[in-house]
Amino acid sequence: MSYWNFSLSVDEEEELKIAAYLSLWLCGFIFPSRDDYLRVGTFKTASRMAAESTYSLVPPILARIYRGLIETSNCMVGHDIGSIKYAFPRHFLYAWAATYFLRGIYSNIDKSIGCPIIRRYAGTLNDL
């Protein structure tokens, strides 16, 4: 038995699916919470994004990276950096650092590989 008695056009149904996916993605990667719940406000933003509204995600992503760096710097010496509970896009930072600071662990990477830049550094930090 359905609680909802309305029908959607194919376009509306597709937009709803995109909004649901965007809401999951936003809550998982851009605006995560410690309790892993979807927030109502996120679905509203996702619905607008699905309707082709433009949003800048740069500020929240930079805020996540900044907080992740703080969490990493506060990590006790001798602990595995992978034990940090706060997730942030470290792989982008690793690739950026390897591209612009060619010293240390990044100095032995072959830059002539014909693949996306970030893929060149995959697994580099696993040796630490």
pLDDT-derived band at 122, boundaries 50, 70, 90: low
Cα–Cα distances in Å, from 31 out to 28, 73, 87?
7, 21, 11
| pLDDT, the chain, mean | 73
Find the mean pLDDT for residues 47-56. 89
**pTM, 2 dp:** 0.56
- Stretch 72-84: mean pLDDT: 68
